[in-house]
C-alpha cells in the first residue's frame, strides 16, 4: 500500500471518523471493495480497528472504522517530551506560581499573535475561517461549520496533548485565548475535549445579540 494512500485513510478517520467502509469509499472516491481492503491492511498494521454495531432495522450489523492509539500517534504531538520536561522543571525548581507566570506570558503572546493575524476581520465566519487556517498550520487540523444559529469550531488533533495532560492550565489558557479573539462577536463554550477523552475538541461559537 502506497504511503500517500494510507495517509488519506488515516486523515479521513482522524477528522471524520468513525466511518463505515462505504462512507470511506464515498469520501475518497473509490470502490467499496477497495476501501475495505485498504482498511484491512491498516488494521493488520495496527493503525485502525473496526467496531460492530447493530444496524437500524433489518440487516447485517454495521462495522465502523476508527483509529487505534497507534493510529493517533501518526499525528505528532509536537515536542512532547521536551514540553513535559520543561513544565516539570519549572514547577520543581521555581514552584507553581512561577509556572503560572510562564503560562500567563505564553497566553498573552499567543493571543497578541492571533489578534494581529485576525485584525480587520469582523465577520464571524470569516474570522473562524482564518483562525482555522492558522490553527491547522500549527497542527490542530482545525475546521468550522454552521450549527443552527451558532457555529462549531473543531480541532481534530491536539499537537500539545502531552503537555496539556501534564499541565491542565494549558487547556484553560487555550479556551481563554479563543474567547479573547472572538470577544465582542461571540461567546465560546467547549463542548468536547481531547484531553478529557473525546475524539476531538469542539467549541460552540454563539454570536452575541446585536443591540440597536
d(CA 81, CA 24): 34
Query: Cα separation of 73 and 7, whole Å?
Result: 12
Higher pLDDT, 4 or 20: 20
Helices then strands (H, E): number in the chain? 9, 6
Do both 32 and 121 map to the same domain? no
- Which residues are registered as beta bridge partners of 65? 19, 50
Confidence of residue 1 (pLDDT cuts 50, 70, 90): very low
Lowest mean pLDDT among 34-43, 77-86, 152-161, 169-178: 77-86
Q: For position 98, which CATH number holds?
A: 3.30.1380
Asked whether residue 11 falls in the same domain as residue 40, the answer is: yes
Residues 91 and 21 grouped into a single domain: no
Listed residues 16, 37, 72: the one ending a domain: 72
- 14 and 84 in a single domain? The answer is no
C-alpha triplet 129, 138, 183: angle, nearest 5°:
45
Predicted confidence at residue 147, as pLDDT, reads: 95
Chosen domain end from 37, 72, 107: 72
Whether the predicted pLDDT of 6 surpasses 70: yes
pLDDT at residue 212 tops 50? no
Tell me: do 98 and 201 sit in the same domain: yes
Tell me what the mean pLDDT of segment 165-173 comes to: 88
Q: How many domains does the chain have?
A: 2
User: Are 32 and 129 members of one domain?
Assistant: no
Q: In this structure, are 65 and 107 located in the same domain? A: no
Residues 105 and 53 in one domain: no
Predicted confidence (pLDDT) per residue in 31-88, tens digit: 888 888 988 888 888 888 888 765 555 566 778 888 877 777 777 665 667 777 888 8
150: how many CB neighbours lie within 10 A of its CB? 14
Identify which has the larger pLDDT, 188 or 59. Answer: 188
Do 38 and 84 lie in a common domain? Answer: no
Same domain for 68 and 95: no
Structural domain harbouring 84: 80-207
Report yes or no on 132 lying in a domain.
yes
Check whether residue 16 and residue 58 sit in a common domain: yes
**What percentage of the chain has pLDDT greater than the value 90?**
37
Q: Same domain, yes or no, for 55 and 141? A: no
Amino acid at each position: 500500500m502506497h504511503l500517500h494512500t494510507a495517509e488519506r485513510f488515516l486523515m479521513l478517520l482522524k477528522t471524520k471518523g468513525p466511518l463505515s467502509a462505504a462512507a470511506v469509499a464515498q469520501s475518497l472516491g473509490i470502490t467499496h471493495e477497495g476501501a475495505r481492503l485498504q482498511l484491512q491492511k491498516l488494521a493488520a498494521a495496527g493503525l485502525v480497528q473496526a467496531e460492530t454495531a447493530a444496524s437500524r432495522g433489518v440487516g447485517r450489523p454495521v462495522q465502523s472504522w476508527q483509529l487505534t492509539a497507534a493510529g493517533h500517534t501518526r499525528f505528532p504531538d509536537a515536542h512532547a517530551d521536551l514540553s513535559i520536561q520543561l513544565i516539570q522543571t519549572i514547577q520543581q525548581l521555581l514552584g507553581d506560581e512561577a509556572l503560572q507566570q510562564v503560562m500567563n506570558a505564553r497566553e498573552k503572546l499567543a493571543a497578541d499573535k492571533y489578534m494581529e493575524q485576525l485584525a480587520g476581520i469582523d465577520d464571524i465566519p470569516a474570522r473562524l475561517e482564518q483562525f482555522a487556517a492558522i490553527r491547522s498550520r500549527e497542527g490542530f487540523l482545525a475546521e468550522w461549520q454552521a450549527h443552527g444559529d451558532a457555529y462549531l469550531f473543531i480541532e481534530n488533533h491536539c499537537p500539545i496533548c502531552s503537555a496539556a495532560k501534564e499541565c491542565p492550565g494549558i487547556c484553560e489558557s487555550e479556551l481563554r485565548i479563543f474567547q479573547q479573539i472572538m470577544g465582542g462577536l461571540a461567546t465560546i463554550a467547549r463542548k468536547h475535549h481531547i484531553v478529557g477523552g473525546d475524539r476531538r475538541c469542539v467549541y460552540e461559537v454563539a454570536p452575541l445579540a446585536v443591540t440597536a
